[in-house]
Chains A and B, each alone.
Chain A
Amino acid sequence: ETGVTQTPRHLVMGMTNKKSLKCEQHLGHNAMYWYKQSAKKPLELMFVYSLEERVENNSVPSRFSPECPNSSHLFLHLHTLQPEDSALYLCASSPPGTSGANVLTFGAGSRLTVL
């Protein structure tokens, strides 16, 4: 248990479904991240929230919609996904400070399969 909890761990959805991934941390961190991990590719940063404000959006398609209601919770809302969106979605958090921005604590991930 890392202190970053992701639910659900596994999700199968059709292309017309709407679902959400949830991430929760109680480590006192003030930045939270969504990453996409596909086989044989580097981790792809999707979104960054710092102090509940989005500071990074790496040209992610609009079918992925993040939400950060407070510093402990992060959501990724999914709708009309494509099969190529099937991947492991990782949530991470980091403490305040510049060097601290590198020290990420990850959840175990949500394995998403789009049919």
Chain B
Amino acid sequence: LAKTTQPISMDSYEGQEVNITCSHNNIATNDYITWYQQFPSQGPRFIIQGYKTKVTNEVASLFIPADRKSSTLSLPRVSLSDTAVYYCLAFYSNYQLIWGAGTKLIIKP
């Protein structure tokens, strides 16, 4: 059964590194794992996408182990504006995009 699982919520402080891990068993072998960020009253916004090992862009890094059964979104030096809900998305088969329930990240001063 395809399922994407992530923690419901996390707290951290400004300037810290935050890591959010998502579990996704049995994902399609040739497709990507994607993370989105959502603020209130907005749709989700693409953050980063990866297939294996490590991907880094200007806002985040994504770590994917060789078995691809999980992935970790890493946000370096978070600020208050990073308070949002973060979603993991895995591709299980043709158009079977399975979303996690979202991790509500709260950044404190």
Which residues of A are in contact with B by a Cβ distance under 8 Å? 2, 4, 40-43, 45, 48, 55-56, 90-92, 98-99, 101-109
| A106 engages B49 (CB within 8 Å) | no
Contact A104:B44 (CB < 8 A) given known A45-B97, A48-B95, A99-B49: yes
In the complex, A104→B46 CA distance in Å?
7
> Chain B residues in contact with chain A, CB under 8 A?
4, 30-32, 34, 36, 41-46, 49, 51, 87, 89, 91, 95, 97-102
User: Do A41 and B31 have beta carbons less than 8 Å apart?
Assistant: no
Q: Which of A40, A45, A107 contacts B101 (CB 8 A)?
A: A40
A55 to B93, CA, bound (A): 13
B101 adjacent to A98 (CB under 8 Å): no
Complex CA distance for A108 and B46, rounded to whole angstroms: 13
Q: Is the interface of A mostly helix, strand, loop or mixed?
A: mixed
Is the CB–CB distance between B49 and A90 below 8 Å? no
The answer on a CB contact under 8 Å between B91 and A102 is yes
Contact status B43-A102, CB under 8 Å: no
- List chain A residues, Cβ under 8 A from B36: 104
Bound CA–CA A31/B4 (angstroms) = 23
Q: In the docked arrangement, what's the CA distance between A3 and B91, Å?
A: 24
